[in-house]
Structure 1
Amino acid sequence: MDGESGDVVRRERFSGGPARGFLSSMGADKRIFEADLAVDRAHVVMLAEQGIVSEEEADEILGALSEVEAAGYDALPDGEDVHAAIETGVIDSIGPVGGKMHTARSRNDEVVTCIRYRLREDLVEALEATLAFREALVEAAGEHTETLMPGYTHLQPAQPTTVAHWLLSYEGAVARDTERLLDAYSRVNRCPLGAAAFAGTPFDIDRERTAELLGFESVLENSMDASSTRDFLVEVIGTLATLATTLSGMAEDLIIFANRGYVELSDDYASTSSIMPQKKNPDTLELVRATAGDASSGLSGLLTTLKGLPRAYNRDLQRATPYAWETVDAVCEATTVAAGAVATAGWNEGILREAAGEGFSTATGVADALAMAGLPFRTAHELVALAAESGSDYAALDAASEEVLGEPLTEHVPREAIEAALDPAESVASRDSQGGPAPGAVEGTLTATRAALAADETAVDGIRKALDAAANDLNEEVRSYD
């Protein structure tokens, strides 16, 4: 797929041999077939506008490219890669003039332009998947602002919280994943075409024009950097690996919650056993959890391939791009599945309410109440910890107060305040600081979250429209040569 070593017209010594199949990337190139046709068309239009090829020659080449497109990828002639195969198809159709299509470029700048062109579409799909996932999280959170559930640290009962608070914790993480994807998109959306092999070209080309025709925001200036860098792949896969890690954590939580009866997964996102008829397994979430391994291995593979490569072009780069395609496909699918699992899950509110107070999970709330009444927090912490050794009710706390403070608890705080702090619902309601689990605080978070989600949806919609507009404009330019 990459490299200046495989031009259509070769010396005889390079026309065959046992390594030809090893060098070929045709099996992986179907993904960028449409991208290559777009890049070819934009380049030919620019060559004609610059007077490097005549309008008649451009018309012939563009017509031949339309024939190649209509015939489809599977009809391409044999080639080392899709770029060479398309060029061969053009030359087979219109003769030697077809070879002018490759004027003022190399496969080095051509292929990386195709990769960026196609990767933009993949990034938009990834962005749309994160937006749909966030919508599912927000909608479910809006339905469960008062649904109590246990919160954990170290997988031990810690403090009571709500289902909405838990859901929004993941929405916040995925919102940052969206932000990172948008940032990555801005750096993918830069055009390397015109860099040639790496040292530019003596032809009077217009790189800004080809970038415009292909819908890129800008040109990658340095020709050596433009043709050889794959840092944009590292950024994209790294961002997707971060998203996959977020998904994996949420999947693990849901698997545990399903095990404890807190949540009921839809049959669409579960399966049964081939031998045990009573089983309902969270299989899809287990695969979502595993996707983090796929993504992190893709990142590791890419970095290992790129490590130590000298400037400018090396054939190793042919092995780099598939890591991106495999990772974006896996993570997009996992994100969509996770969204569906959340949207269709049923939360067992009674079981959750009972579990919310297990393990003396309101102990921190009691210590806070004592501290708010004037006791040093460390003293309050010691008192509650001592009480926890024998119980989790008012009597245990009062006995601990006699031992630690030498007087009844009521000397420091009214009994009703302690009784309220012991109640999981009251404990949650008291935590109304910004971002906390209290229903009022969660409603505030939901308001801000919905606004941020709408802004991101607008941004992604703008990207999609810009790509569509650029594709339409390029088609109009091509039609003008008919």
Structure 2
Amino acid sequence: MTTPSRPLLTDRPDLSVYWDNHLRDAFEEAAANIYPPMVEASLAHVWMLDDEGILPRERSARLEKGLLELWERITDGRQEYAFDGSVEDPYYFMEQQLAAACGISTSELDVQLARSRNDLDAGAFRMVLRRQILDQADLVLQAAADAAELARRHSDALIIGFTHRRPAQPTTIGHVMGGLAEALLSQGRELLDIYAEMNVSPLGSAAFTGSDVPINPQTVADLLGFDSTFTSSYEAVAGAEHFMRLAAAQARICATGARFSRVLLEWMTFGWVATPDAYTQGSSIMPQKKNPVVLEHMVSMAGAAAADMSATYANINSGWYEDSNNATTDVQKHLWRASDRVIRFVRMLDGLLGEFTVLRLPDKAEIVRSGATTTSVAEALAVAGVPWRGAHDVVGRLFKSADPTAWSREQVTEALAAGNISADLADLVLAAGTDPGRILDRPQAGSPGIKAVTATADLATETARALAVRAAELRAGIDAARAALLERAQALAAAA
């Protein structure tokens, strides 16, 4: 009998089992994300050390010159992130790269004076995530504005509204789109609110207790475009509230879009709206099929976003309230992955809104046959003085016998009499039961009435515009801070 060979524990013989199976993978997943903000944060840190007179000018200028060289490699695309086993993570990789750029050994570096990997990681994570938040907010708010425009455009487009997947009441495409716009605006507001919590600098908290070196964390925060600096150095590195809020928001965005995707899929199946070719795949066997599989994929993407949220919470749940990989480093990949997914998801959602085309809507008779107008009949009787439950019961018995298109005056009169209701209301019953368009004149705010839907759309458009302006201002703020930092860094480097 041949003895089976032992499976290999490493793919790279030059690496230990731990380094090959975790550190290498973690490095390759994280380096491209966090190395750039680490370099940017280091430019600010060194400038602050010089400004406070903590570092001799010669040493701070040399470091700043080296960091600017690293920054140039990042911005022009020359920086590579190869894990060669000489360092364990992006933190030491940056030190290795900086020492080489400065022409000194790593033992001669001052870049980590009064700073820990803990606060540097925490700062870099926030710097990555704040830009991702703005990227997501831009798209969500654009989709909200586009949904509002569709609401305005289709405020009179009557359809059958469903509850529990059964025909319920008449509504309009505009009414549904106005609701979608409102949901998206809620998510846009949430993202910008999370940004405010995210854009607090932890830099200067060091390992978690600060430093005896007389540094100025506020200077670093200002140079990096943070709105403020930490109030508790412990929470600065141990905290995970901002991570949990973002994970939940990302899952929420996709969940709302997935629910709408299922409705849109049915509208396409009913033939109410067009199925855009760009979002379909053909059948491998049925030549007539045009499958809008993008909508199915979006539902699956929402499930993946929920899974990343669950993984984020599970990791944080398992960590102590202190600096720990579970609650900080290990959740980053889920947040980055979810951010990328949200961006792709909302792009597809907004693309579908952009190609939204109404085809053949249900005619009035079809809406009436579905039973969608029966609530209006009961309400008309109630307004005429009939107790609500009695009106509800009478209309329910009528619909069991036939849909309103088939009601005769005799049937209606008989049903009213059985409910001790005046036969004089027969014309009211017949009119209300056969006119789904009555809802277009409904004056109630937030209703499917044309004026109400238009008001909803106008408010959503205005709100989306205001929030988009706010997001642009936030992005301009961190961009301006970066430009000012680079200018100061260059001036300091010139002294080298």
> Is the structural similarity TM-score above 0.5?
yes
| Contact 2:365 2:434 (8 Å CA) reproduced | no
**Match of 2:3?**
none
Task: For residue 264 of structure 1, give the secondary structure of its aligned residue in structure 2.
Answer: coil
* 2:226 aligned with 1:216: yes
Deviates more, 1:18-27 or 1:159-168: 18-27
Alignment of 1:397 onto 2:412: yes
One-letter identity of the residue aligned with 1:372: V
Q: How far apart are residue 228 of structure 1 and its match?
A: 2.0
Cα–Cα, structure 1 residues 353 and 131, in superposed 2: closer, same or farther, change >3 Å?
Answer: farther
Question: Is 2:489 aligned against 1:478?
Answer: yes
Partner residue in 1 for 2:339: 328
1:287 aligns with 2:297: yes
Question: Hey, what's the Cα distance between the residues in 1 that align with 2:33 and 2:43?
Answer: 18
Offset from partner CA, 1:120-170 (integer Å, 9 cap, x none):
110000000101111221121121111101001111110001110011111
Query: What is the number of equivalent residue pairs in this alignment?
Result: 464
Amino acid at match of 1:27: E
Any idea what SS the aligned residue of 2:284 has? coil
Residue 27 of structure 1 is matched in structure 2 by: 28
| Residues 390 and 46 of structure 1, relative CA distance in 2, 3 Å threshold | same
Instruction: Give the Cα–Cα distance (whole angstroms) in 1 for the partners of residues 396 and 230 of structure 2.
Output: 62
User: 1:123, 1:185 within 8 Å by CA — same for their partners in 2?
Assistant: yes
Which one of the candidate residues 414, 435, 439 is aligned to 2:446? Answer: 435
1:196 is aligned to 206
Tell me which amino acid in the other structure corresponds to 1:448: L
Mapped partners of 1:73, 1:423: distance in 2? 70
Aligned to 1:161, the other structure's residue is in SS state: strand
Query: Which amino acid letter does the alignment assign opposite residue 103 of structure 1?
Result: L
Letter in 2 for 1:69: W
Match of 1:179 in 2: 189
Distance 1:355 1:213, change over 3 A: farther
How far apart are residue 240 of structure 1 and its match?
1.1
After superposition, the C-alpha distances for 1:74-127 in whole angstroms (9 at most, x for unaligned) are 166743222211111111232147510110001010011000001111000000
More off after superposition, 158-167 vs 465-474: 465-474
1:406–1:436 CA distance, 2 compared to 1 (3 A): closer
The corresponding residue for 1:12 is none
Structure 2: runs of 5 or more not aligned: 1-13
1:73 and 2:79 aligned: yes
For residues 203 and 379 of structure 1, do their structure 2 counterparts lie closer, same or farther at Cα, with a shift above 3 Å needed? Answer: same
Specify the alignment match of 2:9 in structure 1.
Answer: none
Give identity over the alignment, percent: 26
* One-letter amino acid of the structure 1 residue matched with residue 28 of structure 2: G
Distance 1:138 1:381 in 2: 35
Tell me, what secondary structure is at the counterpart of 2:110?
Answer: helix
Taking the aligned partners of 1:388 and 1:141, their CA distance within structure 2 comes to 32
- Paired letter, 1:205: I
Q: Quick one: structure 1 residues 62 and 397, their matched pair in 2 at CA, closer, same or farther if it must change by over 3 Å?
A: farther
* Per-residue deviation, 1:392: 2.8
Map 1:362-373; keep pairs closer than 5 Å: 362-373=373-384
Match of 2:478 in 1: 467
Among 21, 35, 39, which residue is 2:41 paired with?
Answer: 39
**Contact 1:116/1:189 (<8 A) preserved:** yes
Q: Does 1:53 align with 2:59?
A: no
- In the other structure, the counterpart of 1:114 is 124
CA deviation profile, 1:261-317 (whole Å, cap 9, x unmatched): 222121111221122221111111111111221111111111111114224222334
Query: Residue deviations 1:10-47, cap 9 Å, x none?
Result: xxxxx984423323432112112221111111111111
1:389 Cα deviation after fit: 1.2
**Which amino acid in structure 2 is aligned with residue 403 of structure 1?**
A
Q: Indicate whether 1:238 and 2:248 are aligned.
A: yes
- Residue in structure 1 matched with residue 7 of structure 2 by the alignment: none
Are the equivalent residues in 2 in contact too, given 1:44–1:101 (CA < 8 A)?
yes
Deviation, 1:353, is 5.1
Structure 2-normalised TM-score? 0.89
Cα separation, 1, equivalents of 2:199 and 2:484: 17
State whether structure 2 residue 164 is matched by structure 1 residue 154.
yes
1:294-341 CA distance string (max 9 Å, x none) = 111111111111114224222334321101001111112101101111
The structure-2 alpha-carbon separation of the partners of 1:111 and 1:176, relative to structure 1 and needing over 3 Å to count, comes to same
**Higher normalized contact order (CA 8 Å, seq sep 6+, divided by chain length):** 2
The answer on whether the counterparts of 2:68 and 2:489 sit within 8 Å (CA) in structure 1 is no
Bigger shift: 261-270 or 208-217? 261-270
CA distance in 2, matches of 1:420, 1:128: 47
Give 1:474 deviation, angstroms. 1.0
Letter in 1 for 2:57: E
CA-to-aligned-CA distance 1:415-455 (integer Å, 9 cap, x gap): 1x434322344331243200000111111212222221121
Alignment counterpart, residue 259 of structure 2, candidates 246, 249, 257: 249
The answer to whether structure 1 residue 375 and structure 2 residue 386 are counterparts is: yes
Deviations 1:394-421 (A, max 9, x none): 424333112212642x2xx371x43432
Root mean square deviation, CA, Å: 1.9
Shift of 1:364: 0.4
